[in-house]
Structure 1
Amino acid sequence: MVRFMRRLNRWIHPLALVFILLGIAAAGINIGYILSSRFADAFNAGVSSHIRVFMAHLTGWIPFSLAEFIVLGSPVIAVAVIVIAVRKAGRSSRYFVRTLIALLSVAALLYAMFVFSFGAGYRTPSVGKKLGLDREKVTVEELAGTMRIAVEELNGLADEVMIIRDRGSVRPYSHEKAVALCLDSYAALSDEYGFLAKLDAPVKELVTSDLMTYTHISGMYTYFTGEANLNTNYPYYVNVYTTAHEMAHQRGIAREDEANFLAFLVCIRSEDPFMRYSGYLNLYEYLYSALSADRALRDSVREGLDPRVQYDLVCYSRFFDKYRENTVATVSNTVNNTYLKMQGTEGARSYGLMVDLAVAYYRDRLG
């Protein structure tokens, strides 16, 4: 056995072997998620949550996004690895194979980190069930009724929100304050719903936000660093909502529609007017898109929206014109859609499915 291990170590670094074994174990656990939502839920709450909290605290003290630093440095790392691999290939085939296996082991480690810390969230029972919401098939009338509620709430908040010419609504405080407000709201929700883990961690502002906007990504949770990251280039009302959305992922809510709905709840449960405005305006946009099949009905509801809020949406549209059509966005959307479908969701379409949860939330009010 000792002789075998020595021979194996000549071809595979011991640490690389550990990473590969972790990847194999993760594959087995992932199959368990797929076969049993109860197992996925138990693992997500009992194991993954502790890993997410540990990773968030491990990187939270760093004043910048470690994930962004890694991504920006990846081209340099890739070139260095290629150079090393070529040089070692010239020395002997053993060194070349050892380098390739080392690269494979890094991929295995990333996969294992995903499965152990985040992947279970895609296979757990739905957040709707945990919130006690009956997610029935939604009718056009229910969508319109929920949109009217959003319009009513937005009209009531319009006087409390500053909307500037050519810019739209303005967040009246810093990003750090927005994070603190989200944390307060999440803490209250956690007391009400036990499945939401309590976590005090920052949301990192991305340096490359302007460039990132070309991908149409307003934020991301990076499981391998435990960081929630924010694209600060988007308008303020989008930023506040995205902050709450990425914090939902940080708490193990993996499905996009569920993270969207929790972000909505976090915003509207806040005592801060701009937080509530952000939540209702994002809901309004999703409902507006969902009602595209009945434009006459949709437009009749839109006519009741305060002109100042309508102007805010116009400002957003003008801002986004620069980024709307480009190859980077097409590739990014395709990759994201493929990834989400691989996790058993409906792909990029799942973001908009939060309206089903919103309708269920307001069904009693709709009558």
Structure 2
Amino acid sequence: MKKKYILPLSLLLQILIVKLIALFPEGVEKWYSNGLYPKIAFVSRNSLGWIPFSIGDVIYFILIFFLLRWFWKNRKGFFKNWKTNGLTIMSWFAIFYFFFNILWGLNYYRVPLNKKLGIPKEYTLAQLEAFTDKMIRKTNALQEEITGTDSLAVTIPYTETEIFTLAIKGYQNLPENLKEFQYKHQSIKGSLLSYPLSYMGFGGYLNPFTNEAQVNILKPKYNCPMTTCHEMAHQTGIGSESECNFIGFLAAIKNEDVYFQYSAYNFITRYCLGNLEKMEEGKSKPFFEKLNKGVVKNLDENEAFWESYHTPIDTFFEYFYDNFLKMNQQKDGLESYSKFVGLMIGYEKIS
């Protein structure tokens, strides 16, 4: 067999192996998520966490440069040489796919958190209404506690670096049945790609190759504590976006810092209102009217920020990431982000 076919064929073999592994979530949980992965994360985060900038972002810059350079050099007759170019692309993708899964990606196939904890995910409209009302009361109370009035937006007085350090304290206070997700070995950084992330519609991401949690430092800072806790949840070995929202939310509200608590409750309130609207059009309006003016100002700040970066680019990446999630055990795609509301409603029943 010619060498140029080895990597492309290995990609097909890898896909089959991953699909087979996905059939055994208990095995993934034991041997990877609680076996190999923590060791990989230990090495990655201790090696790179102390560096003040994102090594992963630098690697992406370099890879994008060489990718564009390769396309430019091969632009003439690109489709005429479709076989050679196609094999080259598949070879690079095979390498990417291998390291993605070995270094972090297999966490997508572990046992779902609701099954491990016995959390019911389904809820009624009445349960959602009661939970939303509760979250609004908590959000309003925290906003007034911080500002001393109901009409001022919350402004966080910390730097991003201070937020990253404070976030660990919340993970130390996680409930006993979630102690396996305690966070160790900090590697959280403001992303060098914050401008591209904003146009792509992302508040942050985990670099699966360097295990660095990346936070978009351009978005409204009151969101930063919750975003940080979410990305840290990915670092603990959680692939599911709804589960990362769930763990990140609990870590933020268990933090003794009031700004973390507000960031989390504001975040879940926004999702509760969205879920109400999905269940029945117009159902969120009476609940929205209960929000303090200061809370609404923060929500407007968040909406205005993302609207200012809205282009066909973020529409494309929403479509791309939606399908990426669906291919990785998250059948609801981007909708899975909002599913953590159901996890929280169910978790309150068993707590």
User: TM-score category by the smaller chain?
Assistant: 0.7 to 0.9
Preserved CA contact (<8 Å) 2:49 2:185: no
1:175 aligns with 2:160: yes
- Give the superposed CA RMSD: 3.2
How far apart, in 1, do the equivalents of 2:136 and 2:218 lie?
Answer: 26
Q: Which one of the candidate residues 113, 121, 129 is aligned to 1:144?
A: 129
1:351 aligns with 2:337: yes
Q: Which one of the candidate residues 305, 317, 323 is aligned to 2:303?
A: 317
Q: Classify 1:119/1:74 alpha carbon distance in 2 versus 1 (closer, same or farther; 3 Å).
A: closer
Preserved CA contact (<8 Å) 1:163 1:312: no
How far apart, in 1, do the equivalents of 2:153 and 2:219 lie?
Answer: 11
Preserved CA contact (<8 Å) 1:33 1:40: yes
Question: 1:292-350 deviations in whole A, cap 9, x for unaligned?
Answer: 033554222222222221222223223333124x1001111011011001112111111
Q: Which one of the candidate residues 52, 59, 65 is aligned to 2:54?
A: 65
Identity %: 24
Q: Which one of the candidate residues 12, 18, 27 is aligned to 1:39?
A: 27
Preserved CA contact (<8 Å) 1:22 1:112: no
How far apart, in 2, do the equivalents of 1:180 and 1:338 lie?
Answer: 33
How far apart, in 2, do the equivalents of 1:61 and 1:364 lie?
Answer: 39
How far apart, in 1, do the equivalents of 2:10 and 2:174 lie?
Answer: 35
Cross-structure match for 2:63: 74
Residue type matched to 1:357 in 2? L
1:227 aligns with 2:215: no
Unpaired runs of at least 5, structure 1: 87-92
1:204 aligns with 2:189: yes
Length-normalised TM-score, structure 2: 0.86
How far apart, in 2, do the equivalents of 1:300 and 1:102 lie?
Answer: 57
Question: 1:236-257 deviations in whole A, cap 9, x for unaligned?
Answer: 2221111111111111110110
- Match of 1:169, SS state, is coil
Question: 1:156-208 deviations in whole A, cap 9, x for unaligned?
Answer: 212332499x9942112222221122212223328653432542223111234
Alpha-carbon shift at residue 354 of structure 1 (Å)? 0.8
Q: Which one of the candidate residues 38, 44, 51 is aligned to 2:40?
A: 51
How far apart, in 2, do the equivalents of 1:167 and 1:68 lie?
Answer: 36
Q: Classify 1:268/1:37 alpha carbon distance in 2 versus 1 (closer, same or farther; 3 Å).
A: same
- Match of 2:180, SS state, is coil
How far apart, in 2, do the equivalents of 1:79 and 1:49 lie?
Answer: 35
How far apart, in 2, do the equivalents of 1:190 and 1:45 lie?
Answer: 19
Q: Classify 1:26/1:51 alpha carbon distance in 2 versus 1 (closer, same or farther; 3 Å).
A: farther
Length-normalised TM-score, structure 1: 0.82
Q: Classify 1:101/1:197 alpha carbon distance in 2 versus 1 (closer, same or farther; 3 Å).
A: farther
Cross-structure match for 1:89: none
Question: 1:64-87 deviations in whole A, cap 9, x for unaligned?
Answer: 12222233333431244457779x
Cross-structure match for 2:110: 124
Alpha-carbon shift at residue 126 of structure 1 (Å)? 1.4
Preserved CA contact (<8 Å) 1:144 1:297: no
- Higher Rg: 1
Q: Counterparts of 1:264-283 in structure 2 under 5 Å?
A: 264-283=249-268
Cross-structure match for 1:133: 119
Preserved CA contact (<8 Å) 1:133 1:360: yes
1:187 aligns with 2:172: yes
Residue type matched to 1:40 in 2? V
Preserved CA contact (<8 Å) 2:29 2:111: yes
Q: Classify 1:22/1:49 alpha carbon distance in 2 versus 1 (closer, same or farther; 3 Å).
A: farther
Alpha-carbon shift at residue 353 of structure 1 (Å)? 0.8
Q: Classify 1:328/1:79 alpha carbon distance in 2 versus 1 (closer, same or farther; 3 Å).
A: closer
How far apart, in 2, do the equivalents of 1:189 and 1:222 lie?
Answer: 24
Preserved CA contact (<8 Å) 1:22 1:109: no
How far apart, in 2, do the equivalents of 1:74 and 1:214 lie?
Answer: 20
Q: Which one of the candidate residues 135, 144, 147 is aligned to 1:159?
A: 144
Alpha-carbon shift at residue 141 of structure 1 (Å)? 0.9
How far apart, in 2, do the equivalents of 1:163 and 1:356 lie?
Answer: 32
1:215 aligns with 2:204: no
Cross-structure match for 1:304: 290
